[in-house]
Amino acid sequence: MEKQYVVGVDIGGTNTVYGLVDVRGTVVTSGSIKTAIFPRFEEYVDALYEAIMTMLKSHGATDQVYGIGVGAPNANYYTGNIEHAPNLIWKGELPLARMLSDKFGIPVTITNDANAAAIGEMTYGAARGMKDFIMITLGTGVGGGVVCNGSMVYGFDGMAGELGHLTARRNGRLCGCGRHGCLETYCSATGVVRTAYEFLEARPDEQTILRDRHDLTSKDIYDAAVAGDKMAKDVFEFTGKVLGEMLAEFVSFTSPQAIIIFGGLAKSGEMLMRPLRESFEANNMPIHKGKVKILLSELKEADAAVLGASALGWEAKQ
């Protein structure tokens, strides 16, 4: 009998989510472990193996898994390594695919989390049937996945799609990557908070709820904007403007049918989407105006990454 499942794993800086997925893309069951509590990478991989094996045993599926797909920060599709991920506690090159494959005895394929989300969206979500689209994930950082001619663009070395590190403002904000002005420093959850602090400093006499808060989060700013706070609304206006400018850059590059937005900030609704769409259309070249859709992800946040990663599990089938 054909093996009828794949396992998808989504590794985040805080949590690792895994799921058992059937041929129709249903997440049959899923679970999670903490990512950052294991000082050594080997211990983390052991814990992940045990957790997944427990899940498989409870579903009688230990011999039914065709392959495992993993989405992880800075994961290289070609080498199978996680390479120098700033958001993980383990440094250097981590041979994750080989380590998991040795333990499970089945093929393991990895890619970065944004690529995994793009594959999920292409297979089961808003990009079904599209051959050219771009995925942008707005989380703690900003990630990207580029699909051209129906194929994921991994690039020469497996490291393509670093859309969060395109330059939104030349000589702008310092980024974790060591460079300045990256999109990620403006349009991630942390970028939104930086904008709020900049506005607070630049407009010292303006009354705003934000001034009374300590340790602002993007959620605080969203709540303040919904409550009608002028400065908080301006923060989203600015974020949408910068994001729209940069999505127009993406269009000049690969002319996608749609750009799909995913992640925490995508839940801000019209507060973000209205200025984003206005800025996007204003900044598109005439030949592209009105042609490219901006869509919100159709997948549940947890599912998209696990589903996308799981789709990689079938690749060994070719």
**Pairing mode, strands 151-152 and 142-148:** antiparallel
Instruction: Work out how close the CB of 147 gets to a copy of itself at its nearest, in angstroms, rounded to a whole number.
Output: 10
Site track for a copy of itself across 203-242, x = CB under 8 A: ----------------------------------------
Please report whether residue 291 would count as binding a copy of itself according to CB under 8 A: yes
Out of 88, 138, 146, 272, which residue is the one contacting a copy of itself (CB under 8 A)?
A: 146
Q: Which of 256, 275, 308, 313 binds a copy of itself (CB under 8 A)?
A: 256
| From candidates 1, 24, 105, 149, binder to a copy of itself by CB under 8 A | 149
Least Cα distance to 121 among 308, 315, 300 occurs for 308
Burial of 80 (0-12, 13-18, 19+ CB in 10 A): buried
Positive or negative, the CA dihedral 317, 69, 158, 82 is negative
Cβ neighbours for 304, distance < 8 A, ≥ 6 positions apart = 117, 120, 121, 125, 262, 297
Q: How many residues bind a copy of itself (CB under 8 A)?
A: 46
Minimal distance, residue 64 CB to a copy of itself, in Å: 31
**Residues between 126 and 145 that touch a copy of itself (CB under 8 A):** 130-133
Report which of 24, 111, 27, 3 is spatially closest to residue 304, judged by C-alpha positions.
27
Which residue, 178 or 228, has its beta carbon nearer to a copy of itself?
178
Which one of residues 30, 64, 79, 257 is an interface residue with a copy of itself (CB under 8 A)? 257
- In this structure, the number of other CB atoms found within 10 A of the CB of residue 291 comes to 11
Which range binds a copy of itself by CB under 8 A, 17-25, 97-105, 110-118, 147-155? Answer: 147-155
Considering only residues 54 to 113 of the shown chain, the ones binding a copy of itself according to CB under 8 A are 74, 83-84
Q: Identify any residues that bridge with 8 across adjacent strands, giving them in sequence order.
A: 19, 69
Q: Which residues of 97-114 are buried (b: 16+ CB within 10 A; e: fewer)?
A: bebbbebbebbbbbbbbb
281 touches 292 (CB < 8 A):
no
For residue 125, what are its two tokens?
């979500």
Find the binder of a copy of itself among 25, 29, 255, 302 (CB under 8 A). Answer: 255
In the complex, which residues of this chain contact a copy of itself (CB under 8 A)?
74, 83-84, 130-133, 146, 148-149, 151, 153-163, 165-167, 169-170, 177-179, 245, 249-250, 252-257, 283, 285-288, 291-292
